[in-house]
Amino acid sequence: MTVTKPRAEIVADDARVVEAFELRSNASHIPRASAEMPIYDGPEGDRPWIGPHGEVMRRLELHLTYTCPERCVFCSEEHRMEAYHDFPVTWGRVAKVLRLHAERGVRSVHFTGGEPTLHPQFVEVCMLARKLGMRTSIGTIGTMLAKRSFAERAVPWLDEALFSLHGPNAAVNDRMTRRQGSFDQTIAAIRNTLEVNPGFDLFVNTVVTKLNVDHLPDTVGFAAELGAKLIVVSNTTPEGGGFDKYRELGLPLARIAEVMPQVPARAGNAILRFFGMPMCLLGAHDVLSNDLHWDPRVTVEWATRPGKVVFDSVYTWDPGRKRARVAACERCTRNAVCEGVYDKYAELYDTGELRPYG
């Protein structure tokens, strides 16, 4: 029997995702899981860091914290922050990971979280990475960089920062982050960073959902005005909070095809990348798909094993995060370079809006 799936639509009830949550000055009201499992500090197991085609791993992503003052409606790390907030990423662990992967040939490190600038030794972590010959990068909402004294200490040891910005103004952005003052803080952090180092590699990531997609062109235009050299437009990923609320947040394919081709004209001189979107929906701008510009990476983060937690390494050699090629992709001439649609989307909805090449 053939099961007919519905087409994804944007409906008025989707807005309840943000309307159901009162904006707070911080996220201390968010319930956290309590973990009592022991930490395993033994040696890391043998893992291949040479790829299936002989590639040498050059990029490290290191989760420094499992806490964040915001609670974004789409947060892919929500489940992990709930599970591991009780487990600190100590200076000793960080130093061990950085030295291990520097010896293996890693040449750049991206610090993430949670909010990485909240790590008590954040500046020292960046200094060590630089000493080991790594290019340093962070994904951040700018929590500590919004403080000028901290920015003056940290920015000299950073090469680039990917700031989260999910709207062109506080009204849109703060509804996505569920924290009042989020927008103002991020803008202050961006300005502090550029004042400390006018040549800094400022990047912006904006996550697009059903709830802010109408503002996307203005968000990209605003990021370009701020001085962003790279702007990443990220589709809602079905992980963490994004998984829990995917029906309310996930963009219909038809809306992607309608809105994304409007965006490049607003990016100014910035490089633009589309993350998590089928290439065939980007129109004449398909070469801006992040699938074509993605680098393999090793991610080091807490993981749960039977009866314990471990600071584990995950090696990723392709950009197919939570994505799958559906029937329409099989006849597409670019299915070797495009990762398709999110698996959760294909599970829930019809994918007839895809436009296979050839």
Domain parsing of the chain, residue ranges: 53-324
CATH number corresponding to 53-324: 3.20.20.70
Return the higher-pLDDT residue of 90 and 57: 90
- Predicted confidence band at 41 (pLDDT cuts at 50, 70, 90)? low
Cα–Cα distance measured from residue 150 to residue 262, given in angstroms and rounded to the nearest whole number: 38
Which stretch of 16-25, 27-36, 92-101, 326-335 has the lowest confidence by average pLDDT? 27-36
Q: 3-class DSSP state for residue 97?
A: helix
Mean pLDDT of 136-160: 98
Cis? peptide before 114, omega within 30° of 0:
yes
Q: Is a pLDDT exceeding 50 seen at residue 43?
A: no
Return the higher-pLDDT residue of 307 and 24: 307
Mean pLDDT of 159-168: 98
Average pLDDT, the chain: 92
Question: How buried is 25 (Cβ within 10 angstroms: 0-12 exposed, 13-18 middle, 19+ buried)?
Answer: exposed
Structural contact between residues 137 and 160, judged by C-beta atoms closer than 8 angstroms: yes
Q: Is a pLDDT exceeding 60 seen at residue 116?
A: yes
Q: Is a pLDDT exceeding 80 seen at residue 323?
A: yes
% of the chain at pLDDT higher than 70: 92
Mean pLDDT of 153-158: 98
For strand 323-324 and strand 308-316, is the pairing parallel, antiparallel, or unpaired?
Answer: unpaired
- Predicted confidence band at 195 (pLDDT cuts at 50, 70, 90)? very high
Distance of CA 132 to the CA centre of its chain: 25
pLDDT on residue 48: 60
Where do the H-state alpha helices sit in the chain?
Answer: 16-19, 78-84, 91-104, 122-131, 148-154, 170-177, 182-196, 216-226, 241-244, 246-249, 253-259, 327-330, 343-348
Nearest to 289 by CA among 357, 219, 358, 210: 357
% of the chain at pLDDT higher than 90: 80
Q: Using the 8-state DSSP alphabet, how is residue 335 labeled? A: T
Cα–Cα distance measured from residue 209 to residue 238, given in angstroms and rounded to the nearest whole number: 11
